[in-house]
Every structure is written in structure tokens, then in C-alpha cells.
Amino acid sequence: MSTTGSTSGPRFPTRTSEERDASQPLGRIDAYPTHRIAGLPVRPGRPVPFGATLVPGGVNFSVYSNNATGITLVLYRPGEAESWAELEFPDSFRTGGVYAMTVFGLDPEAVEYCYRAHGPFKPDEGDWFDARQALIDPYGTMLSGRERWGAPGGPWRSRIAPADFDWEDDRPLRIPQEDLVVYELHVRGFTAHPSSGVNAPGMFAGLVEKIGYLASLGVNCVELMPVFEFDERDNTRTDPTTGSPLFDFWGYNTVGFFAPKAGYAATGQHGMQADELKNTVKQLHRAGIEVVLDVVFNHTAEGNQLGPTLSFRGLDNRVYYMLTPDRHYYNFSGTGNTLNCNHPVVRGFVLDCLRYWVAEYHVDGFRFDLAAILGRSQDGAPLANPPLLEALAHDPVLRDCKLIAEAWDAGGLFQVGSFPAYQRWAEWNGRYRDALRRFLKGDVGATAEMATRYVGSPDLYTGRGTVASVNFVTAHDGFTLHDLVSYHHKHNEANGEDNQDGEHDNHSWNCGHEGPTENHHVLALRGRQMRNALLMLLTSHGIPMLLAGDEMARTQRGNNNAYCHDGELSWVDWSLADSNADLVRFTRDVIAFRRAHPCLRRRRHPTGHTHDRMFPDVSWHGVHAWTPDWSPHSRLFACMLCEGDDAGGGDGRVEADDCVYVAANGHWEAHRLELPELPAGWLWRRFADTSAPPQEDSCRPGEETALADQAAVRVGPRSVVVLVATPHGAQEIEE
């Protein structure tokens, strides 16, 4: 290992003099070295951009530390334990708190690097400097050390991602938010199961092989659980039921914010994970599917004072983390530390990171984990006008991105409906989730709130429109849809935490039996409840989000916190798509129905006014038309949504109305509902009825059959019926 200031020449990895000469245009003074450090030709670098950047003839390294007394650049050969050169930044190479150096002749594909930060090690004062620690670059665009999923890894080291990917004129799809159908998936869990039948199971390339399925289902946006580099082996527990090691499977403990997860790439062992992810995005775009990344800026993998020092802690602990007055870590994330997001430097880091993913990976948006933390001040207090959230909302590079907040945190801050939105942010609507679950169970007092959530939660999002609400009934964190209707209690024993982890109150109901059963009545009710949930979700105003595998009744056997399982419990079993083909077909039908009816995809909240339509844009009904029952013991509501198409003359004339009637019955008894009378020449036609046999519960849009009785419709026990009003045509009336 070469020492700082050594005159010995480098042994690896440099270019030949001919290659250097060809890459250094004459006349560029910044393309020539001014110093030699550790035997390498260098010159003062450019302070921005941060990170390792290719420049004429070399690589510019720039790293920030406001409180370090010095920084050393450490260079490695790939796969070797010891460094081959260590270059201490001269004081003349520092500008403010930024250390920058251009090193000439390096081959960016054959070099790994870290930093050593010199300074006081005084944790009780908030400083954790230790020059013995090799720290990864916060701006490192790739990391080595975990190239194969689950395999023992070496030390983390930063690398330089190639920047020569051919996007072939790929561009953002810019799908209107009201038209989105979001599908949340885990890259590995989606195809790792042997039944997936892909050539690259558990990889980005495996996801590409399933794009045809996603397109056929009708989803047009995938929300990928974390794909930034993390350590899946960062879990010391074992499964008490099998003795197998547990994992950090979900990946919400980020190590490298600019680096794609190498273990998710079939080419990761060859350093091509960046290109593999870029190709995945490109292929999804070609299929008309946007890509939203689930990002974690509320904490890092360094944890609390007992955790590893990987990067931020060693570079400038007092800047990057929220610290208590006695210099311990605030823990609003529930994982040991909290990023100091509204410190100007950290705010800049977050913006730089998101801009990078938009510019380099063409992603279409971001979902922010525990986003309420992003609105806390440096002392943890909620801010009325958080600088970071405002900056994200108005950033020119992020202008067309979807910004989605999980508007709560582990410190008790719950901001659903009050998240600082700046007319840009949407929110995971946890109140929609709870209202729909309670209504499906038949809880007392659930109907009126469900009706409010159904039309886009106007009480929460006044002035922001329906697209502020991302509606969901299940997500990665909690029960799957199958388990929501199969378990009354969580069963997390396999997590090794004595079933104490995971949400205790799930608003779930097992339909009469806990867990697996062969009782046909229970199974039929569970199937109906799953269809009820999907049908109500996909006809609600707002942005619907599905959890991967729910459309085929994927189960986690009652585990509502499967973050630590890399196996059957967390993988999508694709054989279920065959055994539950009717549920998959039903989901496909309902997504297509949503796409076919503008009245289900409005940006504005309905007002109840007619606006030259044949009916108001929303009207409420019950057993009697135009007479809803909002009493606490009511478990039934019907909603008629109507949207008019302007004839084009600018005079407000309406050419045709799009009119959908949804009757939702959470009662265990059937009800006969009077239907609103339609104008002459119009008929009510049935699109879906979850009380019908599975093969007859829905149809493709345009294939609806007119009701024999145009005055009333029967809604079965715990069932949902959807009708559409259309002009009298070729379709026959039901027998």
C-alpha cells in the first residue's frame, strides 16, 4: 500500500500515455496535472458536482465535510483488500468545506475508492471522525461489496457508473395522475419464485420478462420498493420456526443513495447493474408503464451509536443526522437515526440524488418513505413551510415527476390530509385504507366515511383535487389482500420477535375461520370480499394502488410484516395466477372499466351539480333512489357518478354522458335497490356483480348486458354491483 506523498508510481489502474494524450485536448489547461501525490498526477479539482466525475484525462473527486480537519482519497483495485494509493487532499485543494481533486490517468471501470476523514472522535460532542475507517462516497454512483444477493460480501467501496447507455430517444411518459393504476412490487420478490418461469429470477432482467403480464393486467405504473444499494444480510435474527437466517429483504436501510442494488442485477457481478436497471426502465416505458421509486430519506443503514460507520457518520455526523442536545440520535424513523433533511447541505444532497435518478435513469416519480420526517426541523419540530418539501415541489428538473408521500413517521407525526403539498404532492391515504377495510367488515359507523373516501376524500384534499389521494387497501407493509380476509390476527412468529412486531390493529376479518380452510362457504366469502375490495378501489376517485400478487390471492400466511423473509413467504407464487385465474381476469376487467369511464378518473372533486349533464356529477342513493342512509347502523350506499363530454362548440352542450352506478353492500343480508330513472333511450347495464359466480362476476367493458328490470337491482350479501348507463343499442336485455 502506497503512503501519502509517496513518489512511487501507481501499479494499477491507469491508462497508457497514448490513451492519456488522446483524451487530453490541447489548449485545456485544466486537462493537465499540477501536482503529484502518492505518485499520481493530480490537480485541484472542481468542488461541484460532488462525487466522482469523469473529466478530460481523469476523474474529479469532490467530497464535503464541514468539520473534518482533512480528507484522504483511498484507491483500490477491484477485488483486493488493500489500497494501492492513498492521496491526502492538500489544503490548497479545499474550497470551503469541499475537498476536490482531479486524478489523471485512472481507468474509471477499474478503480474503486473510499475516503478517510480526519478529525476528533468525540461522540459526546457529536463528532465521529476516525481516519482508520474507509468511508464510501455519499454520491457514489455504484458500490461494490454486495454483487451477489445473499452472498457474504466484502467491504463497501464506491465505484463510477458507466454513462454510455443508449436510451434510444426514451422520454418520460407523463401519464396524467388521474389515469394512473399503480402496482407496488419488490424487484426480487416479484420473480424469485421458481414458478415465475423467467431466465433471471429475482433480477431487474426478470422484471423485464414480466412486462407483458403487467401490460395485459392494465397497470401503467410500477412502484418499485427500494432499489438503492442496501445490505440484505443486515439482520442478526433467525427464523425460530426453521432456524434459517433472516434478511433485510425489503431494503429500507439505504447504504448508497446514488447506487442501484447490484444484487438485483443479473449483470451485477460484472459491474453492469446501472445499465440493467436503465434497460428495465426503458422497456417498461416502451410498454406504456411508468416507474416510481420508493426512496428512503428519513434514515440510513448506519443506525444509532451501535451501528456501523459507513459514510455520513464518519464524514460529518453533526451535519447529516438530527442529534439531541446531549448528542444522541433522534429516532423519528424507528430505526435508530434520522437524517437531518432540512439542513441546507442535506437538503442539497436529497435534491441532487433525485435529480440524478430522473436524469440518468429516466424514472417518473418517487414515493417517500415516512415522508413526514422530511418536514421536521433540525431539532425535530414539524415545520409549517419545510424548505426541502418546497424545493422538491418546485425543482425544475423534477417538474414532471410524481411526488408521493407516506405522510406519517414513527415519531407520531400523522399528516394525511395536512402534508405540506405545494399543489404537487400526493399522499398514501391511510384513512382510505382503514375506511374501506372497516366497511368491508361491516363495522358500525363505517358507511358515511367510506362514501367520503370513495369520491376522493374532499374533506382531506380540498383545493388539491382527487389525485392528492393515493388509494390502497393493502401495501407491502401489512397483510396481503388474501390475508386481510383470511386472518383476524397477525401471525409474525417467523420474524423472531415473539409476534410483537407489525401493526396490531389491521381492521381484518377472517370470514369465519382463522387461516387456511377447506370450508367452501368461507372460501366463497373470502373470494367475494377480495373482489369487493378490488372493485371499490378501482372505481374510487383518486389514484388506485395495487399490491403485487393481490390479483392472484398471494398469501404471507398471516404475516403482516414480512420485511425479513427471502423465500416463499415474500415471493410471488406465479402458480396462483392459474389457480386463481378468475380473480386475475376480474382485476383485468375492472382496470379496463376504469380506463373506459372518465367519470371514475376526475381530477376535481364532484360537487353534486349537474353542469348540463343528465344527472349531477355525483349523487347518493340507498334502498330508495336519491335517498341515502348515513345512519351509524347503515352498511349500504350507492353512488352514481356522471361526466359529460362537451360537444365541442364551446356553448356547454353535452354530446353524451358517462354514467356509472356503484352499489356497495357491507351488510350480511341482500337488499333490493331502486335505480334512478334514466332518460328515454337509455338503459342500465350490468358490468360487475361480486355475488355472481366467479366466471360471471364481470365482463369486458362494452360487453355489459342490460338489466331485465330497469327499476331496481338486487345487491347480494356483502357484495358490490356496478352498472353503467348507455343509450339503447345492440346489447340484449338480461333474461
How many percent of the chain have pLDDT more than 70?
A: 93
pLDDT at 206: 98
pLDDT at 645: 58
Q: Across residues 391-404, what is the average pLDDT?
A: 98
How many percent of the chain have pLDDT more than 90?
A: 91
User: pLDDT digit string (tens) for 6-64?
Assistant: 333 344 455 444 444 444 444 566 789 999 999 999 999 999 999 999 999 999 999 99
Distance CA 268, CA 145 (A): 11
- Please state, rounded to an integer, the average pLDDT across all residues of the chain: 93
pLDDT at 656: 59
Q: Across residues 411-435, what is the average pLDDT?
A: 97
pLDDT at 368: 98
* Amino acid identity at 355: R
pLDDT at 513: 98
30 counts as catalytic: no
In this structure, what C-alpha cell is assigned to residue 397? Answer: 428538473
123-137, 157-171, 602-616, range with the lowest pLDDT: 602-616
Q: Across residues 123-151, what is the average pLDDT?
A: 97
Q: How confident is the model at residue 644 (pLDDT cuts 50, 70, 90)?
A: confident
Q: Across residues 220-226, what is the average pLDDT?
A: 98
The b/e string for 645-676 (b: 16+ C-beta within 10 A; e otherwise) is: eeeeeeeeeeeebbbbbbbbbbbeeebebbbb
User: pLDDT digit string (tens) for 440-469?
Assistant: 999 999 999 999 999 999 999 999 999 999
91-100, 233-242, 276-285, range with the lowest pLDDT: 233-242
88-92, 205-209, 240-244, 443-447, range with the lowest pLDDT: 240-244
Distance CA 431, CA 460 (A): 10
Q: How many CA atoms lie within 13 A of 451 on its CB side?
A: 24
User: pLDDT digit string (tens) for 92-111?
Assistant: 999 999 999 999 999 999 99
178 counts as catalytic: no
* Amino acid identity at 572: V
Q: Which candidate in 88, 290, 369, 443 is catalytic?
A: 369
- Catalogue the E-assigned strands of 406-560: 425-428, 469-471, 543-547
User: pLDDT digit string (tens) for 62-88?
Assistant: 999 999 999 999 999 999 999 999 999
Q: Which candidate in 86, 406, 551, 689 is catalytic?
A: 406
Residue with cell 422530511: 374
DSSP 8-state class, residue 511: T
Most confident of 255-264, 496-505, 612-621, 652-661: 255-264
pLDDT at 612: 67
Strand 290-295 vs strand 365-368: parallel, antiparallel, or unpaired? parallel
pLDDT at 187 over 50: yes
- Catalogue the E-assigned strands of 180-328: 182-185, 221-224, 228-230, 254-260, 290-295
pLDDT at 533 over 80: yes
- Catalogue the E-assigned strands of 482-591: 543-547
pLDDT at 610: 77
Tally Cβ neighbours within 10 Å of residue 39. Answer: 16
pLDDT at 657: 83
Q: Across residues 271-285, what is the average pLDDT?
A: 98
pLDDT at 614: 78
pLDDT at 592 over 60: yes
Distance CA 317, CA 725 (A): 62
